[in-house]
Structure 1
Amino acid sequence: MENQPPTPPPYSPVPTGPAPLNQSDERMWAMLAHLSALTGLFTVVGSVVGPLIVWQVQKERSAFVDFHGKEALNFNITIAIASAISFVLFLLLVGFVLIWIVGAVWLIFTLIAAVKANNGEYYRYPLTFRFVK
């Protein structure tokens, strides 16, 4: 009996997916999905790339972050389109006023969404085209 090999430990499967986020981390990443758009103040494409990166990295770990990441991405794509239209309308002198309105709406709604996400609430941006579902 002494020559018998030891019995192996019971099988326990190794998780293959990423570990889910706790509630505090969920709120932080959801808030960062919105606030990362503020990098658009310094780079041309930052307002779209920031939320895209946060969403792609964390969407598998939390449905809450997935929702907020898509919302932030959709809103910033919509704002990019509105900004491009405003820029084209500079020729008619309407774009000069319109670009400031678009910028103010972008900043205000981004900050509102970040606060709501940090409070653990779901927030949908108004007047947003839903490109990513």
Structure 2
Amino acid sequence: MLALLTSWMSGIAGALVAGVVYLAKRDDDAFVAAHARDALNFHLSMCLYACAIFVAAIGLLGATVLTLGIGAIVTLPAGLMLVAAACGLGMLWLISSIVAAVRALNGEHYQHPLTIRFFGS
């Protein structure tokens, strides 16, 4: 639960920082604005995926409780898959953020994986 809360908060914080940088630099520096817009889209996408995993976990927990534990035969493997998905999402989030920062520092453009384009193109 703490990991989900931490990832959700870092997603919101990352999106807020990227949004502020985008608003501040969109007219001054196209390179910085493009990276900030991509980071904003990426963090919002990752936050959305984390929330979807959380909702699915609550649904699995509810299915287990409603069946008085007998449904655990089905929900346990699905729960393990959700844990793996959450860990994979967290690793993707971290690694992609680091790679994007290094690429931006080197003056290269980086397109984050699994990003929904909410803002711009």
- Per the normalisation by structure 1, the TM-score is 0.64
Structure 2 partner of 1:74: 41
Task: Report the alpha carbon displacement of residue 43 of structure 1 after superposing the two structures with TM.
Answer: 3.6
**Which aligned runs of 4 or more in structure 1 are off by greater than 3 angstroms?**
40-44
- Which letter does structure 1 place at the counterpart of 2:21? V
Judging by fraction of residues, say which structure has more helix. Answer: 2
Deviates more, 1:122-131 or 1:111-120: 122-131
Structure 2 partner of 1:24: none
Task: Report the alpha carbon displacement of residue 104 of structure 1 after superposing the two structures with TM.
Answer: 0.6
CA distance 1:90–1:41, shift in 2 (3 Å): closer
Q: How many corresponding residue pairs?
A: 94
After superposition, give the CA deviation of every residue in 1:34-83 in whole Å (9 maximum; x if it has no partner).
Answer: xxxxxx76946212111111111111110101110110001111101110
- Structure 1: 5+ residue stretches without partners: 1-39
Q: Hey, what's the Cα distance between the residues in 1 that align with 2:118 and 2:109? A: 18
Structure 2 partner of 1:54: 21
Percent identical pairs in the alignment equals 31
Tell me if the contact between 1:48 and 1:76 (Cα under 8 Å) persists in the aligned partners.
yes
Task: Report the alpha carbon displacement of residue 108 of structure 1 after superposing the two structures with TM.
Answer: 0.2
Q: Hey, what's the Cα distance between the residues in 1 that align with 2:100 and 2:112? A: 8
- Per the normalisation by structure 2, the TM-score is 0.70
Q: Hey, what's the Cα distance between the residues in 1 that align with 2:53 and 2:88? A: 10
C-alpha RMSD of the superposition: 1.8
Deviates more, 1:57-66 or 1:44-53: 44-53
Q: Which has the larger radius of gyration?
A: 1
Which of 51, 54, 70 is the matching residue for 1:84? 51
Matches within 5 A, 1:1-133: 43=9, 45-91=12-58, 92=60, 93=79, 94-133=81-120
